[in-house]
């Protein structure tokens, strides 16, 4: 079997202020030590203007390097009173409340596509509630001894449930699919959206969104106050070829996708070249390069849920997340049922 994989991170895509032509021509100069700052420490304006080095090998402000693709205006941001990015979950909720009070839907939640619920808020909840507190969580999980029937895991589900309970997500979120969620964000119907870097590049550099403003990304602050956020960073299997009667044709197609055809995919997605280094400059979103570099330097990172959970737990988790959001299961019940799936795997 031959396979290829691509690395990615789960991030929050943030609609920033609309940029005037004058602002784009004369961006504010960043402070000399700004490249050493983390994205969360920067103000909204600084995040828009920070210099990054693109694949063209020269520094340029993000406000020029990344496409202007959102529809929120500077007045929207100022009306909400938001000047800096949240650095923990309590601050994230406060930002959501500010956006809500300003008449802006804070977050797109893909309730109809539980994979994204698990990729985003669940994986970040696990990373910061479980992995951050148990350094040996991988060994415990592999040995069938990791206990998920705990208040910390129940809190992972409770955080997800809290978002719609407080009115921080779009109406009809339980029926919102993956493509629907991307379109809602692209149309400017919400300020933030959980996306993997595979979609974030398209949103920031493609035609999927309306023109006239800027977009930024930051690590979802699912950490407790005073704690460092643990990001979600991993890779996914892209293609596989098995021994079938079409094996040779499939191999030729795969070789094309990761060979001469790869730049075509790269240019369309405007993502970070993940499978190989391109000979020619890639058209990507420089913010992704800066964000991945920051996330990769984190002391601890956790892969998405499907990398470490057994198949039985993954099969249960998807509908379980929707049940919690629909009020059909409590966070405590969800934690107990997910733990039972692990217990079943280990034979206990």
Domain boundaries, the chain: 2-231+300-346
Q: How confident is the model at residue 217, as a pLDDT?
A: 79
List pLDDT tens digits, range 188-244: 888 888 888 767 766 665 444 445 546 777 889 999 999 999 999 876 555 667 788
- Domain 2-231+300-346 sits in CATH at 3.40.190.10
Winning range, highest mean pLDDT, from 5-9, 153-157, 190-194, 281-285:
153-157
Q: Over range 306-322, report the average pLDDT.
A: 93
b/e per residue 301-333 (b: at least 16 CB within 10 A):
bbbbbbebbbeebeebbbebbbbbbeeebebbb
How far separated are the first and last CA of the chain, in Å rounded?
Answer: 34
Q: What is the pLDDT of residue 297?
A: 85
pTM of the model as a whole: 0.73
- Which stretch of 117-126, 172-181, 283-292 has the lowest confidence by average pLDDT? 283-292
Task: Tell which residue, 24, 45, 23, has the closest CA to residue 34.
Answer: 45
What pLDDT, on the 0 to 100 scale, is given for residue 80?
79
Contacts of 274 (CB under 8 A, 6+ apart): 6, 7, 8, 235
Give the chain's mean pLDDT.
Answer: 74
Query: Which pLDDT belongs to residue 74?
Result: 47
Q: Which residues of 155-164 are buried (b: 16+ CB within 10 A; e: fewer)?
A: bbbbbbbbbb
Range with lowest mean pLDDT among 105-109, 128-132, 334-338: 105-109
Q: Phi, psi at residue 63, to the nearest 5°?
A: -65, -20
pLDDT digits (tens, 9 = 90+) for 55-103: 333 333 333 322 222 233 445 566 778 888 889 999 999 999 999 998 9
Chain segment 90-102, per-residue pLDDT in tens: 999 999 999 999 8
């Amino acid at each position: 079997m031959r396979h290829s994989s691509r690395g990615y991170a789960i991030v929050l895509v943030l609609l920033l202020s609309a940029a005037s032509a004058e602002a784009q021509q004369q961006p504010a100069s960043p402070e000399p030590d700004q490249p050493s700052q983390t994205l969360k420490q920067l103000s909204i304006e600084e995040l828009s203007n920070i210099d990054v080095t693109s694949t063209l090998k020269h520094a340029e402000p993000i406000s020029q390097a990344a496409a202007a693709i959102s529809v929120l205006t500077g007045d929207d941001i100022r009306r909400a009173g938001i000047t800096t990015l949240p650095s923990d979950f309590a601050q994230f909720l406060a930002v959501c409340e500010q956006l809500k009070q300003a008449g802006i839907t804070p977050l797109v939640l893909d309730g109809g596509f539980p994979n994204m619920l698990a990729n985003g808020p669940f994986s970040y909840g696990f990373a910061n509630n479980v992995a951050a507190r148990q350094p040996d969580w991988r060994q415990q999980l592999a040995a069938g001894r990791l206990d998920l029937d705990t208040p910390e895991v129940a809190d992972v589900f409770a955080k997800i449930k809290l978002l719609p309970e407080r009115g921080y997500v779009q109406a009809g979120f339980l029926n919102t699919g993956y493509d629907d969620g991307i379109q809602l964000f692209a149309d400017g119907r919400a300020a933030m959206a959980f996306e993997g870097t595979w979609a974030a590049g398209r949103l920031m550099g493609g035609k999927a969104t309306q023109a006239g403003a800027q977009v930024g990304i930051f690590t979802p602050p699912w950490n407790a106050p005073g704690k460092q956020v643990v990001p979600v960073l991993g890779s996914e299997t892209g293609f596989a070829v098995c021994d079938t009667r079409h094996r040779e044709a499939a191999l030729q197609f795969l070789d094309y996708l990761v060979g001469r055809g790869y730049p075509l995919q790269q240019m369309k997605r405007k993502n970070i070249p993940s499978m190989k280094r391109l000979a020619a400059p890639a058209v990507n979103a420089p913010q992704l390069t800066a964000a991945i570099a920051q996330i990769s330097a984190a002391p601890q990172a956790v892969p998405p849920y499907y990398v470490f959970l057994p198949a039985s737990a993954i099969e249960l988790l998807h509908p379980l997340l929707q049940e919690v959001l629909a009020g059909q299961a409590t966070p405590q019940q969800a934690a107990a049922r997910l733990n039972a799936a692990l217990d079943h795997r280990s034979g206990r």
